[in-house]
């Protein structure tokens, strides 16, 4: 799910920049960064805990 959200926010940032909506692009970029951080944390949890318990 996070990968989908990351791709959508990345697209929206690009659209906002293309339309000259710099304030909007900045807000979307902040959300994109949050999604990327969440993805990294979830990947770390999966790699260090969940996957080991599943094996």
Q: Is 20 left (phi over 0), alpha (psi -120 to 50) or beta?
A: left
42 with 2: CB under 8 angstroms?
Answer: yes
9 with 35: CB under 8 angstroms?
Answer: yes
pLDDT greater than 70 at residue 54: no
- Calpha distance 35→4 (Å, rounded): 10
pLDDT 10s digits, 4-53: 999 999 999 999 999 999 999 999 999 999 999 999 999 999 888 876 76
- Calpha distance 28→24 (Å, rounded): 6
pTM attached to this predicted model = 0.80
């Amino acid at each position: 799910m996070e990968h989908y959200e990351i791709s959508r926010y990345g697209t929206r940032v690009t659209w906002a920049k293309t339309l000259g909506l710099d304030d909007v692009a900045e807000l979307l970029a902040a959300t994109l960064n949050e999604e990327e951080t969440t993805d990294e944390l979830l990947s770390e949890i999966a790699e260090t805990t969940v996957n080991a318990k599943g094996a």
